Amino acid sequence: MKDKFLKPAASGGLLDRRTFLLSGLALSSAYPLTAIAQTVGTNFPQWMKTPGRDASAYGGPSSHEAHIQRHLEKNTPETAIFSIWPTPLANQRGIITPSGLHFTVSHNGIPNIDPEKHQLMIHGLVDKPLKFDVETLLRYPMVSNIHFLECAGNTAPNAVSFTALDQDCQALFGQISGSEWVGVPLKYLLQEAGLKPSAKWVIVEGADGGSHARSIPLEKLLDDAIIALYQNGERLRPEQGYPMRLFLPGWEGNANVKWVHRLEVTDKPAFTKDESGLYSDILSDGKIQRFSFHMDVKSVITNPSGKQVLPEKKGFYEISGLAWSGHGKIKQVEVSADGGLTWAKAHLDQPVLSKSLTRFHIPWQWQGEATTILSRATDEQGNRQPTREQWREKYASYSFNHYNAIQAWHIDQEGVVRNVYA
Amino acid sequence: MFMPKLQSLLIRQKYMACFFLLLFLSTLTVNVFADQPEPAFKIDLGKINLGQPLSLSEIEKYSITVSPDGKHLPKGQGSVANGRELYNNQCKMCHGESGIEGPAARLAGTNGWISFSDPLRILRIKEYPVLLISVGGMWPYASSIFDYIRRAMPHYAPKSLSNDQVYALTAYLLYLNELVDEKTILDQRSLLKIKMPSHIESVKNKNNDHH
């Protein structure tokens, strides 16, 4: 590539995001011809000289990628009472998380539900209490949308730890994933049951051992909520709520009740276990804020990110990451490669969808010096990520939910990437 | 909710009623899908009607959610003394001797762990950052304690306790939080009178406005 295309966009080696879009990559096809051996086979690897295996009934990743897995988060007791399995975010590209790698959090383990015995019940402040079995729900009109799902406690270590822990992108940011979710708009079912005028909330309950329950405002359920039956083209995985889950675009993971079996329509919230304690926020003055459902605008650079080592001192890299907002579409992502002194706009990959992961990237020529890289996202409502200091001012020192501050990764002269507070 | 409007139309313009009814039905079909990406076809929702009637006896079997106003709170009673015995046999191994030791979620103490002046607080936060929120420090209503024990506890055998046992354990948890005395016997009426400390700390969420 010629120098005339390398346009700096900010200091620290950030290049204009359009560099490659404008120039294209001229790939050389001038491979030298090697001397002809006795058979051409001598020059080829083993897998080009034998027939391959047959396909399997349900495919899996390459054995060389078998180490790309979720890991049980060690900061919780090793029991299914409360287990967190974050997704390996830095090993993924695009905006869809493979279903088997989608992060999962459960508070009472994963039930083994017989779909033929599972029913969705609707009762309470309705004209006609109704029940729907799985086969019946599969006959309803469905919608399909690509959305992120994020646990309210994603990135909690950076919210509460006094010093930045040396953790990777998976441990710090892995409680977010993106999928295509397909299901029946809940408003069809609620309208079929007929809502009484006093109906304002719905207590949504799962069919797991702990009967996980959350109180959800009716207006959200009549807006874009679905009873999800499919994820990424196949029926839900048990870890995601098979045979059905509530899906609330842009709202905290815990409210997206898995294994959903009962909707009780009420006039006020029930103050269930999770909305009473763990999923409340404590403000800096000690007051407790409940029912904070939206996941705010947030972003993270996934490459390079914590615990990675840049393979070559100095040289070209592409900074790439994810941005999302529970309030709508991502409008812009800015990246800094000089510790936040200067910023440049990153390129946003299409599609940029509402309440979905958005992939951003920007070319970067690393000068080989120690530096800190950061990303900050703005959504279409004008919400912009706060600094960690600004976020901390709002909450008590031990409040950890809904952390969405700007993330910083430090890169030392050896190319070692480390989580830091900017 | 459209009925009053429709009725007045029928009274004033009875000859035009059929026309207006048709007009109204056609707008309803469009409005229902207005906020959602449209399915490939439009249907009258009134004609899906695939849901089966849910009987009162089925509803009663599953209605376990107890509201702060006492809805679905069953009759029964339990003492702190009975609760202590149940706790020591079935709960202590996960929640600790006095409900603060863990490893499972804290049942007693202030929001900031055992206390804000706990000298080991930093170490504890580092070890279990998400489990420091205690029932006594955060939960605004005692009805939620009854509700959660009955639906989910003990972890290895949820829904195995009788209503009286759940009242007894609720009483013992309130005792561990110094909200009732040792001689308390908790029942339907007295449980609803308990004022949890965090009730007065609760604030409306300005960003979401859902409370």
**Tens-digit pLDDT profile for residues A47-64:** 999 999 999 999 999 999
* A125 in any annotated domain: yes
Q: Looking at the complex, report in whole angstroms how far the Cα of residue B2 sits from the nearest Cα belonging to chain A.
A: 12
Q: CA of B134: which chain A residue's CA is closest?
A: A277
Q: What is the pLDDT of residue A149?
A: 98
**Residue from the list A188, A288, A294 with its beta carbon closest to the beta carbon of B48:** A188
Residues A184 and A280 grouped into a single domain:
yes
Residues A112 and A254 grouped into a single domain:
yes
* B54 in any annotated domain: no
Residues B98 and B129 grouped into a single domain:
yes
* B60 in any annotated domain: no
* B188 in any annotated domain: yes
Residue-wise DSSP of chain B:
--HHHHHHHHHHTTTTHHHHHHHHHHHHHHHHTTTSPPPSS---GGGT--PEE--HHHHHHH--PPPTT-TTPPS-EEEHHHHHHHHHHHTHHHH-TTSSS-SS---SS-TTSS-TT-TTHHHHHHHSGGG---HHHH-S-THHHHHHHHHH-STTSTT-S-HHHHHHHHHHHHHHTTSS-TT-EEEHHHHHH---GGGGGEE--TTT---
Among the ranges given (A181-185, A199-203, B31-35, B38-42), the one the predictor scored with the smallest mean pLDDT: B31-35
Q: What is the pLDDT of residue A397?
A: 83
Which chain A residues touch B37 with a CB distance below 8 Å? 143, 145
Residues B91 and B119 grouped into a single domain:
yes
Residues B176 and B86 grouped into a single domain:
yes
Domain at B101, CATH number:
1.10.760.10
In the Cβ-directed half-sphere of B39, how many Cα atoms lie within 13 Å?
Answer: 18
Which chain B residues touch A257 with a CB distance below 8 Å? none
Q: Looking at the complex, report in whole angstroms how far the Cα of residue A302 sits from the nearest Cα belonging to chain B.
A: 24
Q: What is the pLDDT of residue B4?
A: 42
* A18 in any annotated domain: no
Query: By three-state DSSP, how is residue A115 classified?
Result: helix
Both structure tokens of A183:
């299901």
Q: Domain end: A267, A289, A311, which one?
A: A289
**Rounded distance between C-alpha atoms, residue A269 and residue A129, angstroms:** 19
Q: Which residue has the tokens 């006095």?
A: B98
Q: State CA A277 to chain mean position distance.
A: 24
Q: Which residue has the tokens 């103050």?
A: A271
Q: Where are the beta strands (DSSP E) in A189-267?
A: 201-206, 213-217, 226-231, 234-235, 245-247, 260-266
Q: CA of B199: which chain A residue's CA is closest?
A: A288
Q: CA of A263: which chain B residue's CA is closest?
A: B63
Element (DSSP H or E) covering residue A14: none
Residues B39 and B73 grouped into a single domain:
no
Domain at A258, CATH number:
3.90.420.10
* A126 in any annotated domain: yes
Residues B94 and B130 grouped into a single domain:
yes
Residues A285 and A348 grouped into a single domain:
no
**Residue from the list B1, B54, B198 with its beta carbon closest to the beta carbon of A288:** B198
User: Is residue B22 pLDDT above 80, yes or no?
Assistant: no
* B209 in any annotated domain: no
Residues A163 and A252 grouped into a single domain:
yes
**Residue from the list B130, B144, B207 with its beta carbon closest to the beta carbon of A271:** B144
Residue range of the domain that includes A337: 298-420
* A227 in any annotated domain: yes
Domain count, chain B: 2
Both structure tokens of A248:
């609330």
| Beta carbons of B141 and B149 less than 8 angstroms apart | no
Cross-chain residue pair A213–B113, CB shorter than 8 Å = no
**Residue from the list B41, B53, B139 with its beta carbon closest to the beta carbon of A130:** B53
**Rounded distance between C-alpha atoms, residue B59 and residue B44, angstroms:** 28
Which chain B residues touch A188 with a CB distance below 8 Å? 45, 48
Which chain A residues touch B133 with a CB distance below 8 Å? 277-278, 280
Give the residue-averaged pLDDT of A267-271: 97
Residue range of the domain that includes B115: 65-201
* B108 in any annotated domain: yes
- What is the number of CB-based contacts under 8 A between chain A and chain B? 199
Residues B162 and B122 grouped into a single domain:
yes
Closest CA to A372 of A348, A342, A392, A345: A342
Residue B9: C-alpha distances to residues B3, B15, B23, B27 (Å): 10, 10, 12, 16
Q: What is the pLDDT of residue A76?
A: 56
Q: Which residue has the tokens 């959610």?
A: B65
**Residue from the list A76, A122, A133 with its beta carbon closest to the beta carbon of B130:** A76
User: Is residue A66 pLDDT above 60, yes or no?
Assistant: yes
* B208 in any annotated domain: no
- pLDDT mean across residues, chain B: 77
The burial of A269, by beta-carbon neighbours within 10 Å (0-12 exposed, 13-18 middle, 19 or more buried), is given as buried
**Rounded distance between C-alpha atoms, residue A344 and residue A272, angstroms:** 45
Q: Which one of A136-140, A158-162, B21-25, B35-39 scores highest in mean pLDDT?
A: A136-140
Residues A219 and A281 grouped into a single domain:
yes
A398 or A300: which leads in pLDDT = A300
* B21 in any annotated domain: yes
Residue B74 preceded by cis peptide, ω within 30: no
Beta bridge partners of B81: none
Residue-wise DSSP of A187-198:
HHHHHHH-B-TT
Residues B124 and B190 grouped into a single domain:
yes
* A68 in any annotated domain: no
Residues B124 and B41 grouped into a single domain:
no
pLDDT digits (tens, 9 = 90+) for A235-254: 999 999 999 999 999 999 99
Q: CA of A224: which chain B residue's CA is closest?
A: B36
Residues A160 and A228 grouped into a single domain:
yes
Please tell me what DSSP assigns to residue A299: E
Q: Looking at the complex, report in whole angstroms how far the Cα of residue B59 sits from the nearest Cα belonging to chain A.
A: 7
Q: CA of B42: which chain A residue's CA is closest?
A: A141
Residues A214 and A316 grouped into a single domain:
no
Q: What is the pLDDT of residue B25?
A: 44
Element (DSSP H or E) covering residue A224: none
Q: Domain end: A260, A289, A318, which one?
A: A289
Domain at A367, CATH number:
2.60.40.650
* B121 in any annotated domain: yes
Residues A203 and A307 grouped into a single domain:
no
Among the ranges given (A296-300, B41-45, B68-72, B192-196), the one the predictor scored with the smallest mean pLDDT: B41-45
Tell me, what amino acid is at B180?
V
Instruction: List all residues 6 or more positions away from A160 whose beta carbon is below 8 Å from its beta carbon.
Output: A397, A398, A399, A400, B125, B129
pLDDT class for B6, splitting at 50, 70, 90? very low
- Angle between helices B163-176 and B143-152 in degrees, nearest 10: 130
Q: What is the pLDDT of residue A27?
A: 47
Residues B24 and B73 grouped into a single domain:
no
Q: Are strands A344-345 and B77-79 parallel, antiparallel or unpaired?
A: unpaired
**Residue from the list A121, A131, A217 with its beta carbon closest to the beta carbon of B210:** A217
**Rounded distance between C-alpha atoms, residue A45 and residue A34, angstroms:** 15
Which chain A residues touch B49 with a CB distance below 8 Å? 192
Among the ranges given (A72-76, A336-340, B160-164), the one the predictor scored with the smallest mean pLDDT: A72-76
User: Is residue B23 pLDDT above 50, yes or no?
Assistant: no
Among the ranges given (A120-129, A191-200, A254-263, B123-132), the one the predictor scored with the smallest mean pLDDT: B123-132
* A179 in any annotated domain: yes
Residues B103 and B36 grouped into a single domain:
no
Residues A133 and A277 grouped into a single domain:
yes
Residue-wise DSSP of A326-369:
TTS-EEEEEEESSTTSS-EEPEEPSP--TTS-EEEEEEEEE-SS
Residue A304 preceded by cis peptide, ω within 30: yes
* A263 in any annotated domain: yes
Q: Looking at the complex, report in whole angstroms how far the Cα of residue A417 sits from the nearest Cα belonging to chain B.
A: 22
Q: Backbone phi, then psi, for A261, in 5-degree steps?
A: -135, -10
Q: Are strands A176-185 and A104-106 parallel, antiparallel or unpaired?
A: unpaired
pLDDT class for B18, splitting at 50, 70, 90? very low
Domain count, chain A: 2
Q: Domain end: A289, A319, A345, which one?
A: A289
**ipTM score assigned to the predicted complex:** 0.89
pLDDT digits (tens, 9 = 90+) for A141-160: 999 999 999 999 999 999 98
* A58 in any annotated domain: no
Q: CA of A109: which chain B residue's CA is closest?
A: B155
Residues A210 and A238 grouped into a single domain:
yes
